[in-house]
Structure 1
Amino acid sequence: MRGVRRVALGMAFSFFMLSLGLVYWQVVQADTLLENPANRRLILMENRVNRGGIFDRNGEILAQNQTSNGKKVRVYPKGEMYEPLLGYSSVKYGSSGLEGSTADWLLGVRNATPTQTVQQLFALPRQGNDVVLTLDSRLQTIAYNALKGKMGAAVAIDPQTGKVLAMVSQPSFDPTSLEENWANINSRVQERPFENRAFSLFPPGSVMKVVTSAALFRSGINTTDLYESTGSAIINGQTINEQNGKAFGWVNYNMALANSSNAYFATFGVQAGDKNFLSAVKGFGFGQKIPFELDVRMSSITKADKLPAKLTTNLLAASTFGQGEVLVTPFHMALIAAGIANHGVIMTPHLVERVLDPTQTVIFEPKPQPWLTALSKEEADKITSAMVTAVTDGTAAPGALPNVQVAGKTGSAEPGGDVPTHGWYIAFAPAEAPRIAVAVMVENGGTGGGAAAPIARQIMQEALSQKVGDKL
């Protein structure tokens, strides 16, 4: 009898553990599983669920289900313009991008309405929700056309709300007839069309100097003092060259940022010390996960540690002007520009403007939320002033707009090896009351002023040309 009891207790315990497992995966982890693009249940559900549409902020269709020859198909009227950000939804290949991350909304399983819940319970056909994005097709079109034929990314953000207004990655792909064209798209190995370069890591070059600026301010260095730029500087046995070996003469902080003096920022960055530098980069979000609807790779200071406790003198010197081992995403640089524009506060970025149920009732609408306070208002004002000087009398001049004060910064980042530099440009406008912040990176494009600034200028010009109250 004792043996029978042990067997019975063992079976009861096994059933109990199995029940706990089912509760954990079906209840506790239900939303996590549903949000995972690898979950094929979401894809298979589409046999009986009409996936909702995806729209830009002005109602333009970006993705929508249609019926062709009695078969439900997903259509993308804008072609490759929104890829790979928008992603795809395929029974054969799963889902990616926003099609994957917002699938629970689009299929009506997240915060389902009572009607959707009943339909889901009895496996009845039903209509999913529509997702309206913060993106503006007018800006997206400008950015896409300007970047077409190059490799790189362009991101535009509303600095006051964190709304992403445009995001382009090139080269991209056309999601139309994805399954038929899958092999062809994958064969473009050098172009990496499925990679969203806005979320990829690159050395930032001199756009990093706006971050280093905070370390200089907090160290007590007098930024009005003059420094003689002679074309190079030797720090701890390491030669720091100005771009093209150019000597800028006597410069203060404003002119050093405007002319993009590597020697100035390396010299005073080392003087400020690694503690001030690392504190500054942490304040801007390095080594931290960016809260966002999509996965963004974490920006880092060193290969061994994304946010180390200390830096050697030589690595600190190189890091101050965005070389060494520093890596950052174009998306993060857009947030950094937006934070300076917003008096030092980086808002939590978001792509979903609102979600509408099948009756077009709003069931989700995020509110603007701060993410980080990277700078004090006084610090942000100092950097803004120097960025304005960079546009009016420095390397950032190619990003200037008529009758508008633009704050900008160029960067030419050496990726290593015998290849051209990555061209960077970050900016916001109008400088005194910013409505848009942008970051553009052209992979192996050369100088930031030559390759990236003209693209940023076109995006800002389009944004500021919209009438007041015209939704932008």
Structure 2
Amino acid sequence: MNTTLRRLASVVMVMFLALMVSTSWVQYVQADKLNNDNRNVRKIYREYGNARGPIVVGDQPVAASTPVDSPFGYQRVYADGDPQRAQMYAPVTGFYSLVNGTTMIERSENSFLNGQADALWVSRLQNLLTGRKTEGSSVELTIDPAVQQAAWDALGDQRGAVVAVEPSTGKILAMVSKPSYDPNVLAVHSTREAGAAYQELLNADGNPMTNRAISTHYPPGSTFKLVDAAAALESGTYQADSSIPAPHRYTLPGTRTELRNFGDEVCSPTDEMSLADALRISCNTAFADLGVQLGGDAIREQAEKFGFGSRFEIPMSSAASNYPAAGDAFTPDRVALSAIGQGDVATTPLQVAMISAAIANGGELMQPYLVQTVRDPSLEVVQDASPRKVRDAVSPSTASALTDMMVGVVRNGTGTAAQIPGVDVAGKSGTAQTAPNTPPHTWFTAFAPAQDPQVAVAVVVENGGTLSNEATGGRVAAPIARAVIQAVLGR
């Protein structure tokens, strides 16, 4: 009898132990997975039943949650429901959707916005003790509303992107991408309407939900000549006034292919010119030859110092810009093409802006960032961003030489359309071929004032914008950059 009871007791103990282990496994080990499962209806009602924190630009919310008479409790509203303003900020804010999830700031700062971040544990404890509902924190961005509006207006109906950065800190002052979309149509509580709107945007021409400023790769064209010039100056072999070959046409090494300048122009009657003049008039043949002389390894090393090959966490993760890896396939002819920003070189507008920003900042590359301050519901600061240096991209002397060379581009080179009376603007144009019989992408990157930089800008306009095949970076993108710089400087 005693043996039977002992066996029964053992079985009962094992059953209780199994129950305790399984319960603990669900409650603790699997808790995060179950809480974050999109099929968890409790999670959806819990999140929507709390006031999600606003996303703030200047002193105005561009995304906020307003109380509604529905089981969800709150409705996410962008730019007070104004479709045009909502589109202007959508590439930055992203969307918060019952059906389609989150993107951009709504995703990267989600734990602060929904009040669940570890840094908010004191606030959550107070809510638990007082019985108050959890509220999200406000996320204040670095975007300057006047600069954002100027960039949006200047880009007009053209496809492309604009990024403006404060060189000394890395603060992103403007980030525009077109075409864009109205996130309000994705934030509705009707799953049918939200799903249909999302599908419509997925199928829309031009990928409006893509933030081109950080996610789209473009051939950089002649803006990449800044990297070549930096590599040349850093090598110690070249100075701004060093004479380099600048033939009318250049035969790519190992091929019979002739490289020509824009419009088949002659860069120099002597087939030679200074490095500074080659940059000023954007001489393709000179930089193709220079690239081969420097070699792919030296150019790649310089590109990586500016940020190529790495992602910028702003806090959204940008696509890493690409310069071809070393190998048998990267032959001298491909090196020559890469030196003029063609071939296999691909970059984002943010990366191009950071090249100019590093030059403007005496050679120091700063970490770009979009979130300045996070405040809890009582407006106490939970997190405040500080400028952070990534690395030295070039020496101060090289940065100074590049600045003077870029000023020459705007004064009497390919970037005269970026001139601002009373302000020295340093810039570089770019016109990038994409495919046969297709208008080129046009670029302009700049910073100003040249000797006291307040802003660095990168502009890309896809397929020539309104000028189509007649487009150049100096004609199409430079005036946009000028408008952004004027907005920062108040001119």
TM-score (norm 2): 0.84
- What is the 5 A alignment of 1:434-453? 434-445=453-464, 446-453=471-478
Per the alignment, do residues 16 and 52 of structure 1 end up closer, same or farther by CA in structure 2, a change over 3 Å counting? same
**Alpha-carbon deviation of 1:20?**
8.2
For the Cα contact (< 8 Å) 1:44–1:91, is it kept in 2?
no
SS of residue in 2 equivalent to 1:162: coil
- What is the 5 A alignment of 1:11-30? none
Per the alignment, do residues 98 and 63 of structure 1 end up closer, same or farther by CA in structure 2, a change over 3 Å counting? same
SS of residue in 2 equivalent to 1:338: helix
Partner of 2:393 in structure 1? 374
Per the alignment, do residues 146 and 19 of structure 1 end up closer, same or farther by CA in structure 2, a change over 3 Å counting? same
1:297 has 2:332 as partner: no
SS of residue in 2 equivalent to 1:126: coil
1:215 has 2:231 as partner: yes
For the Cα contact (< 8 Å) 1:221–1:272, is it kept in 2?
no
Between the aligned partners of 2:419 and 2:374, the Cα distance in structure 1 is 37
For the Cα contact (< 8 Å) 1:355–1:365, is it kept in 2?
yes
**Which deviations, in whole Å up to 9, do the C-alpha atoms of 1:153-194 show, x marking residues without a partner?**
000000001000000000001122324371574265322110
Partner of 2:210 in structure 1? 195
One-letter code of the match for 1:116?
A: R
Partner of 1:394 in structure 2? 413
1:341 has 2:348 as partner: no
Partner of 2:124 in structure 1? 116
One-letter code of the match for 2:77?
A: V
For the Cα contact (< 8 Å) 2:225–2:287, is it kept in 1?
yes
For the Cα contact (< 8 Å) 2:314–2:371, is it kept in 1?
no
- What is the 5 A alignment of 1:396-411? 396-411=415-430
Partner of 1:232 in structure 2? 249
- What is the 5 A alignment of 1:75-90? 75-77=77-79, 78-90=85-97
**Which deviations, in whole Å up to 9, do the C-alpha atoms of 1:63-110 show, x marking residues without a partner?**
111234565211112221112221111111111111111111111111
For the Cα contact (< 8 Å) 1:37–1:100, is it kept in 2?
no
Partner of 1:206 in structure 2? 222
Partner of 1:100 in structure 2? 107
**Alpha-carbon deviation of 1:48?**
2.7
Between the aligned partners of 2:22 and 2:392, the Cα distance in structure 1 is 46
1:163 has 2:171 as partner: yes
**Which deviations, in whole Å up to 9, do the C-alpha atoms of 1:414-438 show, x marking residues without a partner?**
1123210000000000000100000
Per the alignment, do residues 118 and 241 of structure 1 end up closer, same or farther by CA in structure 2, a change over 3 Å counting? same
**Alpha-carbon deviation of 1:308?**
6.6
Between the aligned partners of 1:20 and 1:395, the Cα distance in structure 2 is 66
Per the alignment, do residues 392 and 41 of structure 1 end up closer, same or farther by CA in structure 2, a change over 3 Å counting? farther
- If each structure's helix is expressed as a fraction of its own residues, which one has the higher value? 2
SS of residue in 1 equivalent to 2:429: strand
**Alpha-carbon deviation of 1:388?**
0.4
Partner of 2:49 in structure 1? 48
For the Cα contact (< 8 Å) 1:38–1:95, is it kept in 2?
no
**Which deviations, in whole Å up to 9, do the C-alpha atoms of 1:247-272 show, x marking residues without a partner?**
12142011100100111111122111
**Alpha-carbon deviation of 1:439?**
0.3
Per the alignment, do residues 409 and 38 of structure 1 end up closer, same or farther by CA in structure 2, a change over 3 Å counting? farther
Per the alignment, do residues 296 and 12 of structure 1 end up closer, same or farther by CA in structure 2, a change over 3 Å counting? farther
Segments of 5+ residues of structure 2 without an aligned counterpart are: 80-84, 465-470
Partner of 1:138 in structure 2? 146
One-letter code of the match for 2:49?
A: R
**Alpha-carbon deviation of 1:292?**
2.3
Per the alignment, do residues 41 and 150 of structure 1 end up closer, same or farther by CA in structure 2, a change over 3 Å counting? farther
Alignment root-mean-square deviation, CA: 3.2
Per the alignment, do residues 253 and 380 of structure 1 end up closer, same or farther by CA in structure 2, a change over 3 Å counting? same
Segments of 5+ residues of structure 1 without an aligned counterpart are: 467-472
User: Greater shift after overlay, 121-130 or 401-410?
Assistant: 121-130
Between the aligned partners of 1:345 and 1:407, the Cα distance in structure 2 is 17
Partner of 1:60 in structure 2? 60
Aligned residues: 456
One-letter code of the match for 1:216?
A: A
**Higher Rg of the two aligned structures:** 2
